[in-house]
Amino acid sequence: MDNDLLSIQQARDLAVAARAAQRQFFHASQAEVDRICAAMAEAAHAAAERLGRMACEETGYGVPEHKTLKNTLASRVLWDAIKEIPTVGVVRHDPRRKLYDIAWPMGVVAALTPSTNPTSTVMFKILIAVKARNAIVVAPHPSAAKCCVETARLMAEAGERAGMPPGLVACMSQIMLPGTQELMRHKYVALILATGGSDMVKAAHSVGKPAYGVGPGNVPVYVDRSADLARAAKYIVASKAFDHSVICATEQAVVADKPIAAQLAELMQAEGAHFVNEAEAQALGKLLFTPGPLINPKTVGKSPQQLAQMAGIRVPATARVLVARLKEVGRSEPLSAEKLTTVLGWYEADGWEAGCERCLELIDYGGRGHSLVIHAQDDNVIMRFGLEKPVFRILVNTLGTLGATGMTTGVMPSFTLGSGGIGGAITGDNIGVHHLYNVKRLAYETTPPPAAALVPGSTDDPAQLRSGGALPANSYGASTVIAHPVNDADQIATIVRRVLAELKAAGN
């Protein structure tokens, strides 16, 4: 059998079934929607550990315990954050303006998911889609197909037991590029929700349908002289080591304020950061990146010890992350780019202004619109970073990984992090349930219309119209008849003959 054709046919079948189910689900009440979503969230949470192990085994990326935590965030924590959000019927009412906002689902959502955070992203997208009364068809990365199919299966079964129409939640199992393309282009798909690498996100945006596409980031972490250095060191190492650095909001380079740089390095070493020498850094750069520079997929989500073995260098067994001292940002320095593995860049800058400039360089090199982390106690410095940096998540005194995704901050829990217009995305938000329904407005009159709007209009020269004179030419080259009371039959006949003659002369 032709695998491409099988994939294409499956995409078509799932899209058709999803549309039929969504038409039925469109009439669900808020209580029914919430009951179904609660059941799916609980089923996903109950399987969080098993699915986390399954994802690690299938992809070879990350840490099982950390994937379990991400699955918890994408199921129970997410549901707690969105369960009270109204998504059916009137969702807001402004009595003063006599305005009602009414939620209207998108329809069928095509959800492209990555290999780095597979099960957690599937959980997240299913919950926000169904909460907004959409159907969803997941198209997973081929290297994570089994764990994604299992995640969608158990959630769909839980939802259907709670009253969800069959086919509303589905996942492709025949994963080929033509099948994924067919799903995105299918006439019944109303929205594309894409999370993954740059090429995949570009493909989603190129289909010609509404799309939320978010991809890589190159997140700097600035540590100011006013920071709690012990806390900063603990958080930076823990965040970079979390799930072996496969979350796109993970810190990619430390920018240390020069007066505290040596102390911060010592504190980070105590937390498990191993600083490599220049030759070792060059070996890591050659290992991690192709001349493109594209990241070597074999290095994604690996421990320092695994990377050291592949690079032919030696690192201690206690190393949680590898740190390379860098001087430049750009193609001349491969390790200044996003590294979806346990390698961290290190820069020093004297003063927050210089630190700001270095952070801007890093953001411009593959991270525009995404995220930045700052450790400081000086509120002025914090606010200057918040106001001036071209990113849409500025995370203060927390872990980049868990702060950006909503575990340790007040932002919406999400595994699809918008990078805004400057990053090539339609929004800079953490994508959530509000992005998956449209709002129509029921608007009553609040201001009487001006009197001039209620009376008949007049010609520029009423006397000319009454006398049967020539009328101004319109865009068709013929006379324009302006609404004006003409009661005499002869006058009307004269005007009609004149218009017909001018139309004929103009070739119309």
Residue 50 domain-assigned (yes or no): yes
CA gap 321, 265 in Å, rounded: 13
Query: Is the pLDDT reported for residue 7 higher than 90?
Result: yes
Tell me how far apart the terminal alpha carbons of the chain are, to the nearest angstrom: 59
Query: Is the pLDDT reported for residue 151 higher than 90?
Result: yes
The closest alpha carbon to 157, from 141, 172, 169, 174, belongs to 169
Q: How much is the pLDDT for 476?
A: 38
Work out the average pLDDT over 474-482.
Answer: 42
Query: Is the pLDDT reported for residue 183 higher than 60?
Result: yes
**Pair 144, 284 in one domain:** no
Residue 426 domain-assigned (yes or no): no
Range of the domain at 472: 457-505
The closest alpha carbon to 349, from 223, 217, 218, belongs to 223
**Pair 243, 115 in one domain:** no
Q: How much is the pLDDT for 292?
A: 66
**Pair 193, 227 in one domain:** no
The closest alpha carbon to 145, from 168, 176, 124, belongs to 176
**Pair 154, 284 in one domain:** no
Cβ 179 vs Cβ 10: under 8 Å: yes
Cβ 87 vs Cβ 134: under 8 Å: no
Residue 450 domain-assigned (yes or no): no
pLDDT band, residue 487 (cuts 50/70/90): low
What burial class does residue 139 get, using C-beta atoms within 10 Å of its C-beta: 0-12 exposed, 13-18 middle, 19+ buried? buried
Six-digit token pair at 388?
A: 């001036």
CA 89, distance to chain mean position in Å, is: 25
Which letter does DSSP use for residue 289 in this model?
B
**Pair 500, 357 in one domain:** no
**Pair 147, 254 in one domain:** no
Residue 421 domain-assigned (yes or no): no
| Phi, psi angle pair for 323, to nearest 5° | -120, 130
Six-digit token pair at 410?
A: 């007040």
Q: How much is the pLDDT for 216?
A: 73
Within 13 Å of residue 480, how many CA atoms lie on the same side as its CB? Answer: 12
Catalytic residue among 37, 147, 148, 248: 248
Within 13 Å of residue 220, how many CA atoms lie on the same side as its CB? Answer: 31
The closest alpha carbon to 67, from 153, 178, 144, belongs to 144
Which positions ≥6 away from 58 have C-beta within 8 Å?
118, 143, 144, 145, 146, 147
Residue 246 domain-assigned (yes or no): yes
Work out the average pLDDT over 39-61.
Answer: 97
Which letter does DSSP use for residue 506 in this model?
T
Q: What is the DSSP string of 121-187?
A: HHHHHHHHHHHTT-EEEEE--GGGHHHHHHHHHHHHHHHHHTTPPTTSEEE-SS--HHHHHHHHH-T
When mean pLDDT is compared across 128-132, 188-192, 426-430, the lowest value belongs to 426-430
Number of domains, the chain: 3
Q: What is the DSSP string of 435-471?
A: GGEEEEEEE---SPPPGGGGS----S-HHHHHTT---
The tens digit of pLDDT for each residue in 406-417 reads 999 999 999 999
Q: How much is the pLDDT for 489?
A: 61
Q: What CATH number does the domain containing 261 carry? A: 3.40.309.10
**Pair 200, 119 in one domain:** yes
Q: What is the DSSP string of 46-95?
A: HTHHHHHHHHHHHH--S-HHHHHHHHHIIIIIHHHHHTTS--SSEEEEET
The closest alpha carbon to 274, from 228, 313, 227, belongs to 313
Q: How much is the pLDDT for 102?
A: 97
Residue 391 domain-assigned (yes or no): yes
| Phi, psi angle pair for 112, to nearest 5° | -95, 130
Q: How much is the pLDDT for 491?
A: 66
| Phi, psi angle pair for 347, to nearest 5° | -130, 155
Work out the average pLDDT over 54-75.
Answer: 97
Q: For residue 248, indicate whether it is catalytic.
A: yes
Q: How much is the pLDDT for 425?
A: 84
Amino acid in position 326: L
Six-digit token pair at 324?
A: 């390379």
Q: What CATH number does the domain containing 165 carry? A: 3.40.605.10
CA gap 295, 305 in Å, rounded: 18
**Pair 173, 231 in one domain:** no
**Pair 14, 148 in one domain:** yes
**Pair 209, 247 in one domain:** no
Q: How much is the pLDDT for 473?
A: 46
CA gap 169, 152 in Å, rounded: 7
**Pair 281, 394 in one domain:** yes
Q: Give the pTM.
A: 0.87
Residue 256 domain-assigned (yes or no): yes
Residue 414 domain-assigned (yes or no): no
**Pair 472, 355 in one domain:** no
Give the chain's mean pLDDT: 91
